[in-house]
Structure 1
Amino acid sequence: MTITTGLGGEPRGPDFVSPGLVSPAGGVPSPALPGPALTRRWPMLAAAGLVVVAVSAGTGGAAGYLAGSAPEPAAGSQPAPAPAGVPSDLVGAAARALPGVVSVQVRTGSGGGSGSGFVFDDRGHIVTNNHVVTSAAGGSVSVVGSDGRRLTAEVVGTDPGSDIAVLRVTPSAALRPLDLADRTATRVGEPVLAVGSPLGLSGTVTAGIISALDRQVRLGGTARQTAVQTDASINPGNSGGPLVNARGEVVGVNTAIATLEGGGSIGIGFAVPIDRARQVAATLIGRG
């Protein structure tokens, strides 16, 4: 079964359950199959995955050869333009995003956990995942910005259903609010960066694309919800960090990855869409 237990150290985050990969009779995939049935079929699916990788590698080699042996373009011809409105300057995007991303650290009498977050506004509000701070009762929460300064944080509110939480710290010029993307302008295939502190490595940036929008998945609980799917590498500690586009705008909040039988990242990650995260954060701030 493809299951992930979130991205934020301990406590572990919400389980992701695939919407259905196989069916009992080989027909239309079932939206919810018993765990043992999926588990028994995984070796076969894993083998199929290896075949796909091998075929893809072979195809890539052939494609490279054909491209390399293709005739030179005619003199004066122009390369096809990049899609309008989709910049490719990920270096610039990283430079814009990093000052607004923080490492979130939770300390309790029995241990703690860590994750990531990003600056939501100029009043010191930080958005992260609920599962990053869910164990903070009776403990302390702090954030470390890109300048290395540690600030004590207050938990303003949490929403387990969307896996969003809001923290508040003393506003600082070093904590720069990130711009939020227009969801209607986000496109499948556009480049994105996952920014955060995987495995405690603060200020880490990984690149990929938006693999799918409005992916129906279960992120904890039993109700399905839509998520942004990406192949940008995200790992434990990335929870709550932003998924940003090439303009440095937040398109989602990284929250879960799919794994095979408890393994690591396999290049399928999920983020809470920014329109939902923004609405939940604004509601939590209003209540707090």
Structure 2
Amino acid sequence: MKNNTLLLLAVGVMLLLSLSGCALFADTQGIETQDAIISSNMNSAENLLVFDEQTALLSMQPTYQGHSAAIGAACEQLDSLDKDKTYRSKNSALVCANKNGLDKCFFQLETIKLQLKNNDSSVNLDSLDVLCSDLRALGLQSNLDNFKSKYENYTSWLKAEDGILASWSSLETLFWNSSSPQPTGTKLSDYYTVYQGQMAGAETSLQSIKNNCALKDGFKTTSDKIEKVCNNVDEYIANIETANGIVVDSLNFFGKLEVGSVTIDATFIHDCNQITKEYSSLYDLKLLKDTNLNNSNQTDLSSMCGQIEYLSSVYAAYGIPLILENGDLSSTTRTELFKAKTVYIETDEVLGSGVIIDSDSSGYYILTNAHVALTYDPSTGTEYLPIYARVKFYDGKVGYATRLANTLEGYDLALLYVPSSGNYPIASFDETYYPNAGDKVIAVGNPYGFVSSVSEGTVSGLRDLGCLRDYCYGEVIQTDAALNAGNSGGGLWDYASQDLIGINSLSLTQTEGLNFAISMYQYGKIKDTFKWYDI
């Protein structure tokens, strides 16, 4: 009887438990299976909180949707197997309780990583503070804080990389342009002002690069170029200072050619070559090498020194000092050059002057006045060849004309040919050129036997004298440059161009400052009428 009573009691308890919705023996194995599913998927989801650089994200694909679905399904199973939430793990209980909030958080984390993968600049890390508040319950707040901090720094670095590339590109453009030859007509002082501005810009760009490189903080670079630039930026900045010193030395040296007076001699040529050597070292600087400066765009000062040296040797061969004043030939050098192109002529009848206008392998052609080279009989109007025509050159050497040519049209011009092995400059002239009133001119000749006398004046005007009593003159240049007996046949020179513009031929003795030179334009019109004779 007692046993029956106990059996009935047990059945009653079980019935009560069944009616109350409780199970005496839970499906612990099923619960553990769902716990494992939640734990596994959460571990995978938590990888979204792990910092990854852009290169590591290239193969990333969105996966959280699958994890979310698996966790959701597992939570539903737990609710079925463990309705009073007694047997599930603490982690599963927290995950299932915060499922909606975790989904918002992890979907946003996944979105942010995909944005970083695609280099999307609209990343919003601040959104995580609101969307991921439920991570605190899972003890993942520090993971989130670390994620944010890392990606804030990383996104700053990615922007810094863009800044580095932009600054470097501007440097490449700058050095291509600033290494171009100095523009024609630009003063070195102006060029240096431009250069200073360019170098200030280069320093600013390099300092910007250095500041951006400081944000690297152990991150990988997305290109080898950025890595190289950041590794060498300090050397680049030092290169700017070195370059400035070299350029200043070069500009100071060549600036002497533009301002003041400088004699081009052996010392100057030596210093020029030294400066050139120093300047060429610019292109050995790492900054200029790494900006890929093409050899064809490099400024070659050696050619300038070579030209100066050649010019100096030419003038030295003539016995003329090469002196520059304010970037041009000095008045001393110009005057000596005019003298070197002028000769002293002596015939058996007169003294006069002439100008070297051409040469061949054996001698020189000298243009002078017919009334200097020929003997004229006014009573008969007949011209006679001189018995001799002795010519003295700039260096004192003497030669004798072997041939003489004059125009058959009665113009007061003649040509002498003088054999000579000497080295003398040839007059340049333009047969189509008309000078302008007011132009500065130089007259060179041998008045009264005073060899290589020089007078200065201006062009007063252009005249057509036609033919006078003894000779024809045609189109002449009127000048107030002093002319005297013995100046006849000498040159009237344009000071600016150094060209021969006329042959001094005539003065009005009753007045002062009324002097005339047959223009080279007139010579060009009649030069084909000259006939040659042996002397």
TM-score, normalised relative to structure 1: 0.60
* Contact 2:503 2:520 (8 Å CA) reproduced: yes
Map of 2:459 onto structure 1: 210
1:157-183 Cα offsets, whole Å, 9 max, x none, are 112622000000114343321111464
CA RMSD across the alignment: 2.7
Could you tell me how far 1:133 is from its partner in structure 2?
Answer: 1.7
Correspondence 1:1-288 to 2 at 5 A = 90-107=331-348, 112-123=349-360, 124-135=364-375, 137=385, 139-159=387-407, 161-181=410-430, 183-184=432-433, 186-216=435-465, 218-221=467-470, 225-246=474-495, 247-260=497-510, 266-281=512-527, 283-284=529-530
- Per the alignment, do residues 252 and 223 of structure 1 end up closer, same or farther by CA in structure 2, a change over 3 Å counting? closer
Which AA in structure 1 matches 2:482? S
Partner Cα distance (2:473, 2:397) in 1: 38
* Contact 1:122 1:176 (8 Å CA) reproduced: no
- Per the alignment, do residues 92 and 187 of structure 1 end up closer, same or farther by CA in structure 2, a change over 3 Å counting? farther
* Contact 1:183 1:251 (8 Å CA) reproduced: no
Higher relative contact order (CA 8 A, sep 6+): 1
Partner Cα distance (1:279, 1:182) in 2: 8
Q: Which structure's CA Rg is the greater one? A: 2
* Contact 1:194 1:232 (8 Å CA) reproduced: yes
* Contact 1:105 1:141 (8 Å CA) reproduced: yes
TM-score, normalised relative to structure 2: 0.34
1:79-138 Cα offsets, whole Å, 9 max, x none, are xxxxxxxx996444313211110011102xxxx211100101122111000011222636
Q: Which runs of 5+ in 2 are unaligned?
A: 1-327, 376-383
Partner Cα distance (1:129, 1:202) in 2: 17
- Per the alignment, do residues 171 and 276 of structure 1 end up closer, same or farther by CA in structure 2, a change over 3 Å counting? farther
* Contact 1:102 1:146 (8 Å CA) reproduced: yes
- Per the alignment, do residues 150 and 222 of structure 1 end up closer, same or farther by CA in structure 2, a change over 3 Å counting? closer
Could you tell me how far 1:214 is from its partner in structure 2?
Answer: 2.9
The 10-residue stretch of structure 1 (165-174 or 251-260) with the greater mean CA deviation from structure 2:
165-174
Q: Secondary structure at the match of 1:211?
A: strand
* Contact 2:443 2:454 (8 Å CA) reproduced: yes
Map of 1:84 onto structure 2: none
Q: Whose strand fraction is larger, Structure 1's or Structure 2's?
A: 1
Which AA in structure 1 matches 2:352? G
Equivalent residue pairs, number: 194
- Per the alignment, do residues 232 and 256 of structure 1 end up closer, same or farther by CA in structure 2, a change over 3 Å counting? same
Q: Secondary structure at the match of 1:243?
A: strand
- Per the alignment, do residues 205 and 222 of structure 1 end up closer, same or farther by CA in structure 2, a change over 3 Å counting? closer
Which AA in structure 2 matches 1:162? Y
Partner Cα distance (2:526, 2:471) in 1: 19
